Amino acid sequence: MILDVRAFALACAIIWGAAMFVITWWLIARDSPANVIALVRQFYIGYSLSPMGSVVGMFYGFVDGLIGGAVFAWLYNLLVARGAQSGE
């Protein structure tokens, strides 16, 4: 089975972007301390526990999920093709 790289990447982007948005709002609602997101803030510049930070996180999550999903699907397809060539 071969994965459609664009469709898989888009699905990963939507899921990861939505997850970043929802997790940020969940942390805001729980009044979590800001140090909870210290690691995320190192990779997603401008991200914070705020309404604007949830949008920034959603954007970064979308881009991150798009790239990660595309790489994963491409690598999966490459390995499946090599497995089919070797007769497995």
Q: For residues 6 and 48, is the Cβ–Cβ distance under 8 A?
A: no
The pLDDT value given to residue 88:
59
Q: Work out the average pLDDT over 18-30.
A: 93
Distance between CA atoms of residues 64 and 26, nearest Å: 21
pTM summary value: 0.86
Q: What are the CA-CA distances from residue 45 to residues 7, 9, 48, 61 (Å)?
A: 27, 22, 9, 12
Side-chain-side CA neighbours of 61 within 13 Å: the count stands at 21
Residue 32 has φ and ψ, to the nearest 5°, of -75, 150
CA dihedral 24, 28, 29, 33 (to 10 degrees): 120
Confidence check: pLDDT of 87 > 70: no
pLDDT band at 73 (very low <50, low <70, confident <90, very high): very high
Residues 41-65 have a mean pLDDT of 93
pLDDT at 31: 84
The arithmetic mean of pLDDT across residues 17-21, rounded, is 97
